Structure 1
């Protein structure tokens, strides 16, 4: 058996030969001048009426008011942007170099998510720490997250898609815990929702003066290690022959990059995608500036580019929306939108390869028909048991006899009220779980990517954007309106992602990467809507985005039931085509399958199933990933067997998660999506590790 093709190095080695010193110097001068212009404009913006002329008069010492505004507000904001721009630019360039992957960054390696969780965890319990101890906590959280992602993605070198999926899943799990803390300790963590998206608002220079030496020290050490990074870029074998301790160098650089990221998060919160964009922009200069890949050039230029991105985004935000927007809306929202656009652009240039490109059921065991029937029966029993417990459990426990009496209409008013409120929640969880599982099975087959799920295609972000937008601007919108707008948003997002991924054919890796970019961009827009138009009701958006069945009514369950009844038989009818598409592109064509039309119809059905589920219960992750994999592990890879088992397991999973969320800390509640994320994360990590081991043995 031939080994699968290894992906080409995404970041090429630093070119040898003579360094074009005049051109490099010219680039540094141009970047410095652009930085000075952006910084000067940045200082003229704010909530007060102090403008450029007022600041110029400070040279004569004639305007005390302008001096107070400059020192108390604008200078701290400018210096904070300068510090985090340098930190994230250096961190992103360093991470991309040791991973040899252009999409490695503090965001995609979940460094920011780990650091954010560490800080929120202490704030939730009322612990207020100075900047340096808080930075130490953020460092520990970020380092743990980055280590996990790097381990699961073979140091980032196993393929761009694997890195993105490992990082996004880890970030989703850590973000779920963070969101849970924000919901449960809303008073103690007030204001952290906006800060959690990267805000440059600074009350003084205390935190900056404490963290600046850390940033400067890490930056200096990285520059000193630049020659070692140049050697490392030649490949591990070559670097070892040249006498470089590859492991020590990679670990040292990783620790320094995480230290810089943690300092940035401590200072301003997670400012998204600066660490991704800055090095990419610098590397684009390679055709006209030979030698820009050398790390003693690349690292400082990435730091300058990071500052320009941060300050430029802040300038753009306040220029378009006014000075108050700089206070209300996190700058990280703008940088995330920019980063999502660059990520999509990079993904369109991505070549399909790597160990994640294998049939999702390629390693599933072959099971007999009797065994399959037994698994279906056990899955059905598990689902019925989950539904039964869901009806019994909650802040008010009832007996099975009470449920039977309620079905017969002979219960008292108290139990009637409880069960009338509870059954739509149980039904919504079961139906949404089944819909997400069927959609996930379809997406994995069509994409031939065992790590894909509906959310990674931007579908859930589109549905979330539509629903949150409607709830923000039309708070009294009806159930059908919310469902309809969520479905429309999901289909628009899916059409956008599918259209961008089409480039002479559909590449599954490109589809996943563009979907991830659309997902991040959609979440940034959702954050903007919440903090700009409804900042005092962040709990509403957090609950919906975390996936909750709270307050569900029968009318909200009906669209999911209709979607299941319409699209599940269509997917089942295409089970043979799904089996063929899961193999490769050539086999279906040889056997007469109209590949592109079938692929579009299958993904369209998955998008509609996902959109109705999201409109009913909000955003619930991991179900579309975990349920299909568990089903394939049990009954093999044939979709005639996988689909019913996956649907039953998905229904049981969401129902169990919803029941746990309603009972563990009753009368308070944990959204079902957070519980599924915490249940699904260990399975996902095991799955990544197993596929990593399989990929290693096939080489």
Structure 2
């Protein structure tokens, strides 16, 4: 006698009876409703009743002009951008089988934005189709680099996010450099860089809209193949799918959509991440909703809801003028950062990014070799300081410097050198502080790709500093340091608490830190454009890192932080050695994990916050210096810490000198130079890590 076990019935859901087509139609109805609300908002006094009278009695001519010239172009731009980004993110997540892939995390938007900004900086007035083609080429180049470094995103979420973050940072640095050097030609690009729906007419939507629809149709036609690809590369190959060709074409379709969105409204952040995630959260019991021929248009409609909803919320809370001043991409980025944090808490990365992959690091070296390295680094730093004092828009001689130290120079040289030495010392102190902080963060995270900036500490300090500058432009240095410290502490505490889930996962810590960094950057942009939409100089000074205008009193906080935090981290050196190995060894040997982590992170936060208050946001120093130190003297923190401090000071000092001298009298912020120098190193690190993972 056989017993048949009846499978339990799937739980009924409110949407199941609708079917996939019904869900799409319901979402479309929601889009229509949100669009009706969106078109009633604006800076003029024309309201909903005035617009409702237009079809019946002609209404007011003013209402018709406002509708056609301002509100309808803005509405259609939001629809086109949301549709393009929602579909683009879905395609990228499908081919990489990674829920955190999007045009933002793959630096597609940053690449497209850089291409458009470069054209504007060099005075090229391109018609819209050529501008869109240029954005497409920039986005394609960025996406190709990130996917190559991350092996398509299939061997680890952390690797994908870090590769995209590094590429986006490098492209942002290049864009900021162009805006600094060509300030008049790029006026207004800073706010546009966070996405703007302000449109003067319908030309952009009319010309780019058909391309978006055609690309969407092509993606839907490939939907069945994408469903098969979701079963795995081997299965798809057996079923006759050319996996490499399919990925190539789908990547091209995705980048075309993202570039079209940038052409219309600039890079509106994280819509391509949020929309697919929301669609994938729909219950699996809903028939056909997760098949690509349904999921793609549905994600596009959800993207429209996100863009229009963010714009509505922005103007409802801050007023109609905020729709002009504040980019809606700020709101979508904050939403996307929240989604990214949720994903990081839900998914665990399996990518092999914890082991230092780029150099052969010997655990021990002779004391003589260590002393030789320290002496060489100290002499190199002394030479960099000497060069920094000589170089600038006005070059001086060594004899002039000796006379200045003895108080025997004339008024002109005295003025030059009095202005120069605080800048040189600020670069040295900030570089050392960031390097020590990076060494501590990498040990706590057990991730050689981590740094204070990746964990949101730098961006949090930047939010505090920018907030104070916007409210009190003449704030004192101690107030600036205190507020920057508060911002860094708040960001780091949030990252740490959100990362804790029955233990501290290094992958989760990094991913949540990247989300926090994006949120803090969005808040910084909003503060700047609300305070003074056209004052990009204030923004770029902090976001790019600069020693310009530093005075001796500004060096005191970072010097005190080095005196306090460096001995603390050095005292924890043996615990950090064990902490960098794994989770179990420190416990077995009696190391109190959480107190050590908190103490090391507190020291890193103190160092980072004061460094930001001294020179602004300088990236990659906390990543490069610890790696180079371990390559030179081994992994023991007793030796790596002093060498990392010397190398960090050397890097920022040389970057500051180069920025002051290469295009003098114009200046390039030190943060941009370190990003441009650090990106190739980071790319090499990821490439070696990728090769090791494949092996």
Both proteins in one fold, TM over 0.5? yes
**Aligned counterpart, 2:56:** 60
**Aligned counterpart, 1:34:** 30
What per-residue deviation string (whole Å, max 9, x for no partner) do you get for residues 43-85 of structure 1? Answer: 1111111111111111214212222211111111111011011
**Secondary structure in 2 matching 1:498:** helix
Q: Give 1:542's match in structure 2, choosing from 535, 540, 543.
A: 540
* Alpha-carbon offset, residue 111 of structure 1: 0.3
**Aligned counterpart, 1:238:** 235
Which sections of structure 2, spanning at least 5 residues, go unmatched? 1-14
**Aligned counterpart, 1:348:** 345
- 1:230 and 1:32 map into 2 onto residues whose CA distance is 24
What per-residue deviation string (whole Å, max 9, x for no partner) do you get for residues 302-341 of structure 1? Answer: 0000000000111111111111111111111111111111
Matched, 1:221 2:218: yes
- 1:21 and 1:104 map into 2 onto residues whose CA distance is 31
What per-residue deviation string (whole Å, max 9, x for no partner) do you get for residues 283-315 of structure 1? Answer: 010345243221111111100000000001111
Kept in 1, the 8 Å contact 2:357–2:692? The answer is no
**Aligned counterpart, 2:125:** 128
Kept in 2, the 8 Å contact 1:359–1:448? The answer is no
- 1:293 and 1:168 map into 2 onto residues whose CA distance is 29
**Aligned counterpart, 2:666:** 668
- 1:643 and 1:511 map into 2 onto residues whose CA distance is 22
Which sections of structure 1, spanning at least 5 residues, go unmatched? 1-18
The within-5 A match list for 1:171-250 is 171-250=168-247
- 2:380 and 2:283 map into 1 onto residues whose CA distance is 58
Q: 1:137 to 1:21 in 2, by over 3 A?
A: farther
**Aligned counterpart, 1:253:** 250
**Aligned counterpart, 1:7:** none
The within-5 A match list for 1:474-513 is 474-513=472-511
Matched, 1:464 2:462: yes
**Aligned counterpart, 2:550:** 552
* Alpha-carbon offset, residue 357 of structure 1: 2.8
- 1:125 and 1:360 map into 2 onto residues whose CA distance is 40
- 2:21 and 2:294 map into 1 onto residues whose CA distance is 10
* Alpha-carbon offset, residue 213 of structure 1: 1.8
Which deviates more from structure 2 when the two are superposed, residues 487-496 or residues 262-271? 487-496
Kept in 2, the 8 Å contact 1:360–1:444? The answer is no
* Alpha-carbon offset, residue 33 of structure 1: 1.4
**Aligned counterpart, 2:11:** none
- 2:693 and 2:571 map into 1 onto residues whose CA distance is 32
- 1:318 and 1:176 map into 2 onto residues whose CA distance is 30
Kept in 2, the 8 Å contact 1:546–1:671? The answer is yes
- 1:309 and 1:363 map into 2 onto residues whose CA distance is 47
- 2:389 and 2:618 map into 1 onto residues whose CA distance is 21
* Alpha-carbon offset, residue 22 of structure 1: 3.7
Q: Give 2:513's match in structure 1, choosing from 488, 512, 515.
A: 515
* Alpha-carbon offset, residue 185 of structure 1: 0.9
* Alpha-carbon offset, residue 630 of structure 1: 1.1
- 1:241 and 1:371 map into 2 onto residues whose CA distance is 56
The within-5 A match list for 1:126-525 is 126-358=123-355, 363-366=360-363, 367-525=365-523
Matched, 1:599 2:605: no
- 2:360 and 2:503 map into 1 onto residues whose CA distance is 27
Which deviates more from structure 2 when the two are superposed, residues 265-274 or residues 282-291? 282-291
Q: Give 1:659's match in structure 2, choosing from 653, 657, 660.
A: 657
Aligned CA RMSD, in angstroms, stands at 1.4
**Secondary structure in 2 matching 1:454:** coil
* Alpha-carbon offset, residue 677 of structure 1: 0.3
**Secondary structure in 2 matching 1:477:** coil
- 1:146 and 1:613 map into 2 onto residues whose CA distance is 32
- 2:134 and 2:394 map into 1 onto residues whose CA distance is 39
**Secondary structure in 2 matching 1:200:** coil
The within-5 A match list for 1:12-27 is 22-27=18-23
- 1:490 and 1:361 map into 2 onto residues whose CA distance is 30
Matched, 1:681 2:691: no
**Secondary structure in 1 matching 2:320:** coil
Q: Give 1:107's match in structure 2, choosing from 101, 104, 108.
A: 104
Kept in 2, the 8 Å contact 1:448–1:581? The answer is yes
- 1:540 and 1:283 map into 2 onto residues whose CA distance is 41
- 1:209 and 1:27 map into 2 onto residues whose CA distance is 28
Aligned residue pairs: how many? 679
